[in-house]
Amino acid sequence: MNAAEQSFAAQLERARDGEPRFVAALRSSARDAFLAAKLPTIKDEDWRFTNLAPLAGQAFSPGPLARATAELPPAPRLVFANGRLDPAATDLGGLPAGVRVSSLAAALRERPGAVEPRLGGAIAASARQPFVALNSALFEDGALVEIDDGVECQPTLHLVFSSGADRGGERGATASHPRNLVVAGKGSSATVVEHYLGRGAYLVNAVTEISLGEGARLEHDRLQEDAPEAFHVGALHVAQAGASRFAGQSMALGARLARVEARALLAAEEASCDLHGLNVSSGAQVHDHFVHVDHASPRCTSREVFKGILGDTSRGVFAGRILVRPGALKTDAGQISSSLLLSDDAVVDTKPQLEILADDVKCSHGGSVGQLRPDQLFYLRSRGVPEALARALLTWAFAAEMVQRVGPEELRARVRRAVTARLPSGELLREVA
């Protein structure tokens, strides 16, 4: 075992008293799955472009009790520090009738029957996903969001996850395993934001399960601004009923190494899924997006658009897999990945995959990797725009499409500021971006 696996194995032996029987069974099977699989390596096909050696060589301990110190979004919000609810920072004011937002740990204590049918369902099975198994075995808390049938939730629901030790990593690297569950009833609609940030050296291993009832509509925005020394692994699992609509945006900006897996199951006819993402990388950062869309029913639609902006010696990875099952006629699926290299030393790996087992479908994929075009730079320079500003404007134009997909206005403004701050000469864009 490497250092990370040894530290996790020790934590897996910790006894947990008083949990519902189904949670104990979930933890037991997940523990066995993780110990059998261990951490992925570049020999695993789904991880061959992302080397976890820096993470594997680090021992992790549970994070201490802490308070979130970041700038907080407006209510309603749930705030977690090192994977545990921060009651002082949480504010659930403004929730409409028919919308319940609570700590998952509290729900497991007070009304486990509401959680049991959904937690750790087939779509988030642990057997072939070691980090999901590790999360299932070690999670302490997270968010439970329940939206009743026919309810339109107007306020954005914010889930904030702050990580790291209180005083400069005195305890060494810490780890938290947030577990989130979102259940949207038939004909409901809502917007849910997950925001990750922190300071120091730590690992966030987050799992979010989303279940959409028939005709439900959900926007899910994920903003990752973790500390430069941090590791981030996230999994999003979405199960969609007929005529449901899911729109997911993933913005990867922080962390030393970050990977997000998004898996969507279109289980009934007329379901629609949009999965989009942007990563902005510099230094030696590694940002990895892995997407798997399972068209299990006829007449479903999916779209994937992912972009990356990479400087210095950073690395970007995009792997998109579309599966069209037998009988999934009239499937319409499209996938595009584009990367902009700001340095000759930056690296991008893309791996589009189509597995089509049905006739009468429309599936496509495309991608591009390149640098700023000299003719576009010349055009701006010839009109008196300084070179630094010209480069910043063209780079921002590449990113702006993805930023504009973020629905909530206050979050879109924050993403805009965060993206421009990470671009070369980004300070020049304050008035124009």
Cβ pair 237, 211 in contact under 8 A: no
Between CA 374 and CA 331 the distance in angstroms is: 40
Cβ pair 135, 235 in contact under 8 A: yes
Tokens standing for residue 288: 């990895």
Task: List the pLDDT tens digit at each of the 433 positions of the chain.
Answer: 899 999 999 999 887 888 999 999 999 999 999 999 999 999 999 999 999 999 999 999 998 888 877 789 999 999 999 999 999 999 999 999 999 999 999 999 999 998 998 888 655 565 579 999 999 999 999 999 999 999 999 999 999 999 986 544 456 799 999 999 999 999 999 999 999 999 999 999 999 999 999 999 999 999 999 999 999 999 999 999 999 999 999 999 999 999 999 999 999 999 999 999 999 999 999 999 999 999 999 999 999 999 999 999 999 999 999 999 999 999 999 999 999 999 999 999 999 999 999 999 999 999 899 999 999 999 999 999 999 999 999 999 999 999 999 999 999 999 999 999 999 888 888 766 6
Between CA 250 and CA 406 the distance in angstroms is: 9
User: What stretches of 226-343 adopt beta strand conformation (E)?
Assistant: 231-240, 245-252, 257-266, 272-281, 286-295, 301-310, 315-324, 332-341
Between CA 219 and CA 301 the distance in angstroms is: 16
User: At residue 10, what are phi and psi to the nearest 5 degrees?
Assistant: -65, -40
Which of 121, 107, 140, 106 has its CA nearest to residue 14? 140
pTM of the model: 0.95
